[in-house]
């Protein structure tokens, strides 16, 4: 089945220790997104890639970076995680075909910062 | 600016009851898209439905139905004969055409008790 995969599902890191979260997709979609979702809140868009074009949200901290080495993979790098970065990180994809397409989400990675 | 309001923070029903989740949106665009997603305890956001602003037909899918009314800027979601497996957080979301930025409401936590 075509899908969006996130690894790991649970990640524990230490305050200030860089961490990378991974997302892959078999949908061959052009667009990949990263969202941050804190407890009992709605998902918040951090950035997205349209093919190789990176689009950062204005209020995304510099501490968050992303890489998309190919169509299938996208990574979220948190350079120096703080306690406030503990959250669920959701990856999503969509296939932009001239109209707003549905975003399909992966299962998420729950990040704990000690 | 686009905005989505889900006024019901939490709803609790007993199995087999019908339940309606409200969603009210604001946008200046004439072309936009509305979505509902389900987020079970596992964390994955599951796509339920997409509606464009030119299609006000109501939709039914099994026990799920959606009522889209442009006159009141509402896109309500009804679950008929609720089941315990329907327990989840439900998000309504809005996206304007040409802007790949989906805005979520705060979510409604539905608990269905046996």
Is residue A23 within 8 Å of residue A5, measured between CB atoms? yes
Where do the structural domains in chain A lie, given as residue ranges? 4-105
Residues of chain A falling short of pLDDT 70: 1-2, 97-100
- Residue B84 phi/psi, 5-degree rounding, is -55, -35
Q: Does A110 touch chain B (CB under 8 A)?
A: yes
Asked if B45's CB is within 8 angstroms of A100's CB, the reply is no
Closest CA in chain B for residue A45: B101
Burial of B75 (0-12, 13-18, 19+ CB in 10 A): buried
Count of H helices and E strands in chain B? Answer: 0, 12
The whole-number pLDDT of residue A95 equals 85
How far apart are the CA of A30 and the nearest CA of chain B, in angstroms?
A: 12
Residues 46-85 of B with CB under 8 A from A: 46-47, 50, 52
Rounded CA gap, B31 and B28, in Å? 9
The whole-number pLDDT of residue B97 equals 73
Residue in A42, A45, A100 nearest the CB of B33: A100
Mean per-residue pLDDT of chain A: 92
Residue in B47, B96, B99 nearest the CB of A104: B47
Q: In Å, what is the CA distance from A21 to each residue of A24, A44, A50, A67, A101?
A: 10, 16, 19, 10, 24
Rounded CA gap, A10 and A7, in Å? 8
Q: Which CATH code of 3.30.360.10, 1.10.150.120, 3.40.640.10, 2.60.40.10 fits the domain covering A4-105?
A: 2.60.40.10
Asked if A88's CB is within 8 angstroms of B45's CB, the reply is no
- Residue A20 phi/psi, 5-degree rounding, is -125, 130
Please tell me whether the peptide bond between A98 and the residue prior to it is cis, using omega within 30 degrees of 0: no
Give 10-residue mean pLDDT values along chain B (114 residues): 88 97 93 94 92 87 94 96 97 82 92 96
Q: Which domains does chain B have, with CATH numbers?
A: 3-113 (2.60.40.10)
The whole-number pLDDT of residue A98 equals 47
pLDDT in tens, B102-114: 889 999 999 999 9
Asked if A45's CB is within 8 angstroms of B43's CB, the reply is no
Rounded CA gap, A57 and A47, in Å? 5
Residue in B42, B44, B100 nearest the CB of A31: B100
Asked if B100's CB is within 8 angstroms of A42's CB, the reply is no
């Amino acid at each position: 089945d075509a899908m969006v995969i996130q690894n790991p599902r649970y990640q524990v890191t230490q305050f200030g220790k860089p961490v990378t979260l991974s997302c892959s997709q078999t949908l061959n979609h052009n667009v990949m997104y990263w969202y941050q979702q804190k407890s009992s809140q709605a998902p918040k868009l951090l950035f997205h890639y349209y093919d190789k074009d990176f689009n950062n949200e204005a209020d995304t901290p510099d501490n968050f970076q992303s890489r998309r080495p190919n169509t299938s993979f996208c990574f979220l790098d948190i350079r120096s995680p703080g306690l406030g970065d503990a959250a669920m990180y959701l990856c999503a994809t969509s296939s932009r075909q001239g109209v707003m397409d549905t975003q399909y989400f992966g299962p998420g990675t729950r990040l704990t910062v000690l | 600016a686009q905005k989505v309001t889900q006024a019901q923070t939490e709803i609790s029903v007993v199995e087999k009851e019908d339940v309606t989740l409200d969603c009210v949106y604001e946008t200046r665009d004439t072309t936009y898209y509305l979505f509902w997603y389900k987020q079970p305890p596992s964390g994955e956001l599951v796509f339920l439905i997409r509606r464009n602003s030119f299609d006000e037909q109501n939709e039914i899918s099994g026990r799920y139905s959606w009522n889209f009314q442009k006159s009141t800027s509402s896109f309500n979601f009804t679950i008929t004969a609720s089941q315990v497996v329907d327990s989840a957080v439900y998000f309504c979301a809005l996206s304007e055409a040409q802007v790949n930025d989906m805005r979520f409401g705060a979510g409604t936590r539905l608990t269905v008790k046996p």
